[in-house]
Amino acid sequence: MSDFFGDDFTWELKKYFLEATSKEVESFIDLIDPSTFAKVTAEIREASASWTVDAKTNEFTFLETWLTNFSEKIDSLDSVEQMHKALELLHKYLTGLLSEKKDSAELAAHFPLVAQSSREVLFLHCKTGAQEFVVPVSNVIEISGVLPVYKLPDSRPGLAGLIPFRGEAIPVIDLNSYGFQSGESSKYYYVICEHEGMRFSLRVTETDELISLKDQDMQNLSDHPTMLSVPFIKQFFVKDKHSVMVLDMEKLVA
């Protein structure tokens, strides 16, 4: 879509959309601060959906793609600074469209949106033998010492048995069946977890510190094919020259 200002009528329609959207973006930039962040972010999410539709209607192909990407990354813009940067980038893009009068991939490429979450998540550091992994603290209910493990009537892949916990029978995930090494230990700990109403336990040989991590601390397991391949592990990080795996609770429960 090269020259979208081909006639006066088209010019007025498209100019109106760009200027109106630009003013809305400026308004959000002025309004958002730590005290209004949640409320204004919700409004931006709603406005972004409308902007995307209008961009398509006005045949701004590359702006539509940019706005779709922005909508998908709004939840990753989890600080005032991140949201400000994204909105300012959008404002410059809209200004560029008005100035260049040309919708092109080249122009869009000048305003790449990269969302880096500043959110920190707290994890519990665990070990099973020589292997290390972390579990989100938000999913941990309790860490228990020696508990009896009851075998299941029918063996099931990935389950070591059941343990009693507050009047319930909690399944124990058998990490060894996924390639984890138990090591030589006569004492185990049970990390009782809950995810979306489902409770289960992880049997470990050691639990120690809490670790705070950001998204940028993580590396993707798929980029390192020599590492242990586990269905419920997609990421890891390096701590004291050791690779520490990050358990994906949703995949683990599935």
Closest to 246 measured CA to CA, from 178, 230, 198, 189: 230
More confident residue, 171 or 226: 171
Question: Is residue 147's pLDDT more than 70?
Answer: yes
Whether 32 maps to a domain, the answer reads: yes
151 lies in the same domain as 240: yes
In a domain, 94, yes or no: yes
Strands (E) in 31-139, as ranges, are: 120-128, 131-136
Residue 244 belongs to some domain of the structure: yes
192-219 CB burial, b ≥16 within 10 A, e <16: bbbeeeebbbbbbbebeeebebeeebee
Q: Which domain holds residue 226?
A: 120-253
Higher pLDDT, residue 224 or 146: 146
Locate 49 and state its tokens. Answer: 């959906």
56 lies in a domain? yes
What pLDDT does residue 105 have? 81
Number of structural domains in the chain: 2
Can you tell me the distance from the alpha carbon of 250 to that of 232, in angstroms, rounded to the nearest whole number? 8
